Amino acid sequence: MVNRAGMAGLVIIFLTGAWLIAAPFALRFQPSGASWTGGTRMDLAVGGVLLVAAFAGFFVALAGRVRELYAHRPD
């Protein structure tokens, strides 16, 4: 239960990073064709870091869980 909640938290963090990348263009506070503002760059950077980190963390945790299942499988 706790592990599943942790995995769900990683997924939410991943989605938050994706939202941070898409928010300036979705909410149109970054005009299209214009140079990127400071806020847009910051959101894209933070969103990208969160996206990659959450993606990597999620699959590392998933791999660890799969290894545990293999280790405890009946012979």
Partner 1 sequence: MSSGPWSCGTAAGRYLSGLCVSALGLCAGGWLVLTPFAFGYRTRGRAAVTDFATGGGLVLIALLTLGCWSLGWRRRLRADGVLPARPSRRSRRSARRQARAERLVRATRTPELVAAPDPAQVLTDLRALLTPLLAGEDCTLVRPVPSPNGTSDATPAGQQAPPAPSASDAAQGAAAQCHGAAMAVPGVAVAGVAAADVAVVDVAVAEVAAGVPVMVPAPAPAPESAQAAEPHGESRQVQAPGHLRGTRSASFLAPAPPPAEPLLRGAELLMVGTGEEEAW
State the minimum distance, in angstroms, from the CB of residue 60 to partner 1: 4
State the minimum distance, in angstroms, from the CB of residue 18 to partner 1: 11
Q: Does 68 bind partner 1 (CB under 8 A)?
A: yes
DSSP calls for the chain: -HHHHHHHHHHHHHHHHHHHHHHHHHTT-S-TTSPPPHHHHHHHHHHHHHHHHHHHHHHHHHHHHHHHHHHTS--
Q: Which residue of 32, 34, 35, 70 would you call a contact of partner 1, by CB under 8 A?
A: 70
Nearest to 10 by CA among 74, 65, 66, 59: 59
| Residue numbers at the binding site for partner 1 (CB under 8 A) | 2-3, 5-7, 9-10, 12-13, 16-17, 19-20, 23-24, 27-29, 37-40, 42-43, 46, 49-50, 53-54, 56-58, 60-61, 63-65, 67-68, 70-71
